[in-house]
Structure 1
Amino acid sequence: MSVTILVTFLADAVVLTARAFIEHQWTSSVLAYYIAVSWLSWTIGMVCLTDETYKFGEWNWVQYIFWMAAALGETMVGWLWTVGMLRPKPGTIFSLYDYIFLGIFIVRYVMEVLTVLLCVIQMFSRRQHNASEREPLLGVTATTETYGTTAAAEGHDETSRKGEPSAFSNFFQKMRKLLPYIWPHKSIWLQLLVVVCFLLMITGIFVNVLVALAIGRVVDGFEQDKGKFAWGAVLVYVGLRFLQGGSGLIQALQNWLWIPIGQYTTREISVKMFSHLHGLSLQFHINRKTGEVLRVMDRGTNSIVQLLSQILFQVFPALANIVVAVFVCATLFTPPFGLIVFITMSLYLFVTISLTEWRTKYRRTMIELDNSARTKAVDSLLNFETVKYYGAEDFEINRYKNAVIEYQKADWLSSTSLNILNLAQNAVISGGLLAGCLLFAWEVAQGRLTSGAFVTFNIYMMQLYTPLHFFGTYYRMIQSNFIDMEKMLALFEEQQTVKDVPGAKNLAVTDGHVVFDNVAFSYDPRQTALNGISFSIPKGATVALVGPSGGGKSTILRLLFRFYDPDSGHIYIDGQDIKKVRQESLRHNIGVVPQDTVLFNDTVLYNIGYGNLNAPEDAIFKAAKAAQIHDKILQFPDGYETRVGERGLRLSGGEKQRVAIARTILKDPPIILLDEATSALDTGTERQIQQALSIMTKDRTTLVIAHRLSTIVNADLILVIKDGRVVESGNHEELIKQGEDGVYYEMWQKQLHDDNDTETNGLHINVPESNRDEIVSSPTEMENSQQQEQEQEQEPQQSGSATPENQDEEGTTTSNVQSSSKNRKKKKRSKSRKGTIF
């Protein structure tokens, strides 16, 4: 259709030329300029088409605006045609050429209307997202089928960027998604402020014209009224200058009124994104990279905040100034000046858009490498202790340094392409200014224009070129904002894998009776995690899950907490299917003590109180006492106001576990989940935590994952989970009676054997004979060594000799150590029998 429209303008030019030579009837200059300017505009539009925009529906926002503006202009021309033919002036005779013009116009107008209709359909139709929006967020594939696996990063090679879309692709779709956060629809007052700011912007456009006219009047006044003081014209000029510009009164007032609107946008988008991230399922958070997510949030929020002000108060005024400048120059001076301005502006926009699109890939790569460097830094700092454990400081520094170097290489390419763009823009502006000044000098020399008009033209052009120069900056800023927003939009498009069903009700817990009914689940379709799990936990009963690692124990807890939904089967609490209740109410009735407790970087009081945000301090102290940590907290320098550090690293493992238990006690849920809560603790700390757990789980439905079987020997029911199935069930005595054929019996015997090995391996170490004297050392040996040194001073000839007494003492020491080992072994066995939770 664009080609057809272009051909119609060529047809108009041919008809005009034919009429001029055949009928000797010359057309008006207005019509000639209209055809020439229109043909040039559509030609530039055709040249601006990229491979992407040749495809149906793959258009950018510049083309949308151009086509709509062209249709509006043709509508005005059509209206003039209609008026002229229906109400012709007296004596007007329409020739064949006029009817040919009318036919060509009708064809062109139909094509332009069809183009606008296609634009409107494309703007508001739901299209499939392009490749950049479907790119896996943060380099991983977040699907509902996978768990704990990430796809390999593709890197930043050029092959992965073939067919990469423009930052402005799907412009209107993106704007439609962002409009609720950009437009202050919740506040009439803020909407009025937007309107006032828009009116101020329109006023600023007219002030620019008046400033140029005022300075021209001042110059003409100097020449025409010599000897008179043109103070009035000077005051008008200075007053207009006070209103004009980035530091003028109009702009200052506009910026001030815009502050609450910008704050509204920042608040809405940041809170919405934070809420959205918390609403995503566990699948996303397992695969996420925290540093990159934070970077995406920061950049995305800032880019959205800037977008409205950039489009409304920077891009729109720049385009409006171009239209006004063409009209003013053609009217105030002569039509060729308007043509020069139009050609210069068109070439400038073409160069700006083309080169900016070209350098998009460098900007995109730079942002991705910047995100990558930040991610490496955050990951390294979060794993500070691990880095220290392995002495990997140099490795981490070099890893971060290489990431920064890669980012700087991409930044250099981006900056270089920006300099090329600026140079090309300056060349176009300088060429247009040169053409205008030469033409104006000729007109002044011929006496058709005055020196004041020349000054007016130059001042106005400088006023026009300055914002036009910044139009390239605005375009780049908007493009950069869209690039920054791509990842944030991808975050918004992440869907919850676990959702409340419509009309879901709150869970009503009466007894805390939990039932798993033939539950099957898989993280990956190729491998089943649970296969037909069924069991029941009566009110106040305790069920322990044991078995080899990877058997599905933790998966059962995650399904009960509804981090995932089962593929088949049902989970009931007091007869209510948990898939049909609200997740918030379900999790309100379940307390969890994980194996690895992570605390907020706040006070101990805050972390315990997190179990019930409305609990008074007395209740928090009572929960801490029940968790056997109250006295320990009082020993801290700041007591309950002691800050625990990031992830609670200032507390020991046992202290963190007891804080988690106190938090759960304060929550007071009817159902308790314990995920190997004591597996990584020493014996003494474990005993204290076992006492706290016994208090917490009394008369509550409890589901336990245990690694140490000695801690669950009193459980009401023990389920042995292996390969996603319940292979054995019963209490401790029943499972032990199954003998060597039972999985539980084998695990029990193995742990007893491992306990014996743990006790003896610390003392009976196979050491080379040459090193045995260095390892086996005792106070007696040290005394003998000192005695030998004294004897060497007195009897040098006896130095270095070993005495039988030394050997006897050494043998005696070794036998004493072995004897004490046996005693410790007996004590530890007796303690392990006593140290049971259930």
Structure 2
Amino acid sequence: MKHDFTIPDPDSQFNLRVFKQVLPYLTEYKSRIILAFCCLALAKVASVYLPFILKNTVDLLEKQQDLASPELILPLMLVAAYGLVRFTNVLFSELRDVLFGRVTESAMRQISLKVFSHIHQLDLEFHLNRKTGGLARDIERGVSGISFVMRFFVFNIGPTILELSFVVGILSVNYGVKYALVIIVAVFLYILFSVKATNWRIKYIKEANLADNQSNSRAVDSLLNFETVKYFNNEGYEKAEYDKDLAQWQNARRKNRLSLFALNGGQALIIALAMTATLALASLDVAQKNMTLGDFVLVNAFMMQIFIPLNFLGFVYREIKGSLTNIENMFKLLAIKSKTFEDGNAKNLELINACIEFKNVSFSYQNKKNTIKGLTFNIEAGKKIAIVGPSGAGKSTITKLLYRFYDASSGDILISHKSIKSYSLDSVRKLIAIVPQDTVLFNNSILENVRYGRLSATDKEVNKAIADAQLSDFVNSLPDKLNTQVGERGLKLSGGEKQRVAIARSLLKNTPILIFDEATSSLDSHNEAAIMETLKQVATGHTSLVIAHRLSTIIDADEILYMEKGKIKEQGTHQDLLVKNGFYADLWRKQSDVVR
């Protein structure tokens, strides 16, 4: 199954599933949430009370204009009260954000960790099909979306609706239903237009996100493989391809921007018409002595308080729609199931002896048939088995099946006479150390890359593994010694140096089963001979599986399997296979002729 990482089409309504998925991460901070809502309530009370202070101030000043000796104490007290209430409004709003900030940050941290951990648990097929840059962007946008939705949906949309209800009620009771009707109609038209327009422009948001993912993935992939780009003089091609992706991104952003202009323009028109109508009604009432100037100021203040956050509400709705899309896309990753899974009651594999058995094992990759067909062989504990054969014979697939990166289509694999499917993935993989053909290192020091084989290892143990891997002379020649940074994917080191780091890392793991997948393919003859002697000593008493291209490196194997097209064609010791004068002997002669 090919995994799909594109952004899903959003529903026309808010996706409540997202809130259900996020809610469990918030419940552990119930007291903080309650305090945050208390601060919210106090902030809204202060906000609604502010226009009344303005009204009383204006009315008082108007009356005192008719007095011979106006008193300034009361107006100044009202002004001071206005400043105090406004400060209180801001203070409680900030306290609300501080209290709720820890809740959202905790949720973001836990969800990020869960997604990260889940992705590491997915099968190898997922990671072969993924695009790292786009996947990272999906996670980043999803986590950021959680923060936005939690903060603004809870503390902006809800409170704005509550405040709107208060204002409509106050204006209806004090000044007549006509003011409430203008506000209700304007709000209805505003919300209707915002919803329709936002749903219309979601496709442009989706296009912009996809273009952003594509350009980012292209850039990451090109930079990770910059050596290959230079080998083939394809800098111009990479630049042109990246520019194509950027052009798509630019075009998508342009459409997004124009649609946003249409949305903002429509919202602004509705607000302007509503405020004009309300102030016109208030002006007529003042002229007809039905309202005071203070009432006029109060109505104007209430209209400003409603429509400024309502305008913000339009922005919040647009962003929440986009955020919900991003969050759902991130949670979509959690819904992907690995084809390789362990039983819920899986126990740790307790090793009696490190024997390995393949019993009639068959396996095929996606879109490939019969990679391995009915494979049966046995590696006794402490023995060394080598597998040779042409490319595509299925040699490296054996190690992937042993590590359970994939599960066999049929047949069974046993370690210590126990099926590896019956035990936890972690316990099985702890028994095996591998030196892979393609060594990829972390962008860290040589010391930490070697220590990665066993994180609890001491510096002394790390140094011994480095010495056993014939890496000491190279390390000592470096200015920063073990603290030398290897660069992204180990690009600062040569192929042979990276391979020796991988060998040291595997030796440090100190497992009963060792796998060498072309472990010396990048080494020169001098280092290869030295390391082969080391590996021979280290492998003593260990069960070893060696996948080799150079037959000279496996002539001491207890048994050699010659594979072709997923099947074992020949097996025996080096001398036995030469005597048979078959596939192995033919390959030996060809390599010997090349050496001559």
Report the TM-score, using the length of structure 2 for normalisation.
Answer: 0.95
**Equivalent position of 1:772 in the other structure:** none
Contact 1:207 1:243 (8 Å CA) reproduced: yes
Within the candidate set 484, 491, 503, 1:661 is matched to 503
**Equivalent position of 2:437 in the other structure:** 595
**Equivalent position of 1:508 in the other structure:** 350
Within the candidate set 56, 74, 84, 1:217 is matched to 56
Amino acid corresponding to residue 446 of structure 1 in structure 2: Q
1:704 to partner: Cα distance: 1.1
After superposition, give the CA deviation of every residue in 1:457-480 in whole Å (9 maximum; x if it has no partner). 011101111000100110111112
**Equivalent position of 2:168 in the other structure:** 326
The answer to whether residue 4 in structure 2 is matched with residue 137 in structure 1 is yes
**Equivalent position of 1:242 in the other structure:** 87
After superposition, give the CA deviation of every residue in 1:795-838 in whole Å (9 maximum; x if it has no partner). xxxxxxxxxxxxxxxxxxxxxxxxxxxxxxxxxxxxxxxxxxxx
Aligned pairs for 1:154-303 (under 5 A) are: 165-166=9-10, 169=13, 171-181=15-25, 183=26, 185-186=27-28, 190-226=29-65, 227-229=70-72, 230-244=75-89, 248-303=90-145
**Equivalent position of 1:431 in the other structure:** 273
Contact 1:735 1:744 (8 Å CA) reproduced: yes
The answer to whether residue 585 in structure 2 is matched with residue 745 in structure 1 is yes
In 1, the alpha carbon distance for the partners of 2:140 and 2:243 equals 23
1:525 to partner: Cα distance: 7.0
**Equivalent position of 1:633 in the other structure:** 475
Within the candidate set 384, 390, 401, 1:548 is matched to 390
**Equivalent position of 1:699 in the other structure:** 541
Contact 1:516 1:571 (8 Å CA) reproduced: yes
**Equivalent position of 1:22 in the other structure:** none
Amino acid corresponding to residue 76 of structure 2 in structure 1: W
After superposition, give the CA deviation of every residue in 1:266-307 in whole Å (9 maximum; x if it has no partner). 321221121111111111111111111211222111111222
In 1, the alpha carbon distance for the partners of 2:251 and 2:3 equals 24
SS state of the match for residue 237, structure 1? helix
Within the candidate set 303, 327, 335, 1:493 is matched to 335
Amino acid corresponding to residue 174 of structure 1 in structure 2: V
Aligned pairs for 1:812-827 (under 5 A) are: none
Instruction: Point out where structure 1 has 5 or more consecutive residues left out of the alignment.
Output: 1-133, 140-160, 757-838
In 2, the alpha carbon distance for the partners of 1:623 and 1:477 equals 53
Call closer, same or farther: CA 1:627–1:364 in 2, change over 3 Å: same
Contact 2:435 2:516 (8 Å CA) reproduced: yes
1:753 to partner: Cα distance: 3.3
Report the TM-score, using the length of structure 1 for normalisation.
Answer: 0.68
In 2, the alpha carbon distance for the partners of 1:524 and 1:394 equals 34
**Equivalent position of 1:723 in the other structure:** 565
Amino acid corresponding to residue 523 of structure 2 in structure 1: L
1:720 to partner: Cα distance: 1.4
Contact 1:654 1:689 (8 Å CA) reproduced: no
Contact 1:670 1:701 (8 Å CA) reproduced: yes
After superposition, give the CA deviation of every residue in 1:21-53 in whole Å (9 maximum; x if it has no partner). xxxxxxxxxxxxxxxxxxxxxxxxxxxxxxxxx
1:538 to partner: Cα distance: 0.6
In 2, the alpha carbon distance for the partners of 1:601 and 1:726 equals 39
SS state of the match for residue 385, structure 2? strand
Call closer, same or farther: CA 1:135–1:669 in 2, change over 3 Å: closer
Contact 2:48 2:163 (8 Å CA) reproduced: no
After superposition, give the CA deviation of every residue in 1:735-790 in whole Å (9 maximum; x if it has no partner). 12222xx222222222233434xxxxxxxxxxxxxxxxxxxxxxxxxxxxxxxxxx
Instruction: Report the RMSD for the aligned CA atoms in angstroms.
Output: 1.9
1:345 to partner: Cα distance: 0.7
Call closer, same or farther: CA 1:620–1:136 in 2, change over 3 Å: closer
Contact 2:503 2:519 (8 Å CA) reproduced: no
Call closer, same or farther: CA 1:445–1:135 in 2, change over 3 Å: farther
Contact 1:137 1:491 (8 Å CA) reproduced: no
1:586 to partner: Cα distance: 0.7
Amino acid corresponding to residue 198 of structure 1 in structure 2: F
1:571 to partner: Cα distance: 0.9
1:340 to partner: Cα distance: 1.1
After superposition, give the CA deviation of every residue in 1:250-275 in whole Å (9 maximum; x if it has no partner). 22222222332232123212211211
Contact 1:624 1:630 (8 Å CA) reproduced: yes
**Equivalent position of 1:307 in the other structure:** 149
Contact 2:14 2:321 (8 Å CA) reproduced: no
**Equivalent position of 1:3 in the other structure:** none
In 2, the alpha carbon distance for the partners of 1:528 and 1:686 equals 34
In 1, the alpha carbon distance for the partners of 2:167 and 2:591 equals 88
Contact 1:198 1:312 (8 Å CA) reproduced: no
Call closer, same or farther: CA 1:169–1:719 in 2, change over 3 Å: farther
After superposition, give the CA deviation of every residue in 1:521-543 in whole Å (9 maximum; x if it has no partner). 12237612111111111111111
Call closer, same or farther: CA 1:693–1:170 in 2, change over 3 Å: farther
Q: Highest relative contact order (Cα 8 Å, sep 6+), 1 or 2?
A: 2
**Equivalent position of 2:595 in the other structure:** 755
In 2, the alpha carbon distance for the partners of 1:743 and 1:561 equals 29
After superposition, give the CA deviation of every residue in 1:9-28 in whole Å (9 maximum; x if it has no partner). xxxxxxxxxxxxxxxxxxxx
Contact 1:510 1:574 (8 Å CA) reproduced: yes
In 2, the alpha carbon distance for the partners of 1:306 and 1:336 equals 36
SS state of the match for residue 571, structure 1? strand
After superposition, give the CA deviation of every residue in 1:623-652 in whole Å (9 maximum; x if it has no partner). 112222123211211111111111112222
Within the candidate set 219, 223, 247, 1:377 is matched to 219
After superposition, give the CA deviation of every residue in 1:534-568 in whole Å (9 maximum; x if it has no partner). 11111111111111211111111111111111111
Contact 2:198 2:263 (8 Å CA) reproduced: yes
1:688 to partner: Cα distance: 2.7
SS state of the match for residue 359, structure 1? helix
Aligned pairs for 1:316-355 (under 5 A) are: 316-355=158-197
**Equivalent position of 1:686 in the other structure:** 528
Contact 1:322 1:345 (8 Å CA) reproduced: no
Which ranges of 4 or more aligned residues in structure 1 deviate by more than 6 Å? Answer: none
Call closer, same or farther: CA 1:372–1:249 in 2, change over 3 Å: same
SS state of the match for residue 560, structure 2? strand
SS state of the match for residue 737, structure 1? helix
Amino acid corresponding to residue 755 of structure 1 in structure 2: V
In 2, the alpha carbon distance for the partners of 1:408 and 1:660 equals 43
Aligned length: 590
**Equivalent position of 1:60 in the other structure:** none
Contact 1:661 1:692 (8 Å CA) reproduced: no
After superposition, give the CA deviation of every residue in 1:387-410 in whole Å (9 maximum; x if it has no partner). 111121122122222221221111
Amino acid corresponding to residue 753 of structure 1 in structure 2: D
In 1, the alpha carbon distance for the partners of 2:14 and 2:417 equals 48
Contact 1:348 1:428 (8 Å CA) reproduced: yes
**Equivalent position of 2:231 in the other structure:** 389
SS state of the match for residue 544, structure 1? strand
Contact 2:383 2:543 (8 Å CA) reproduced: yes
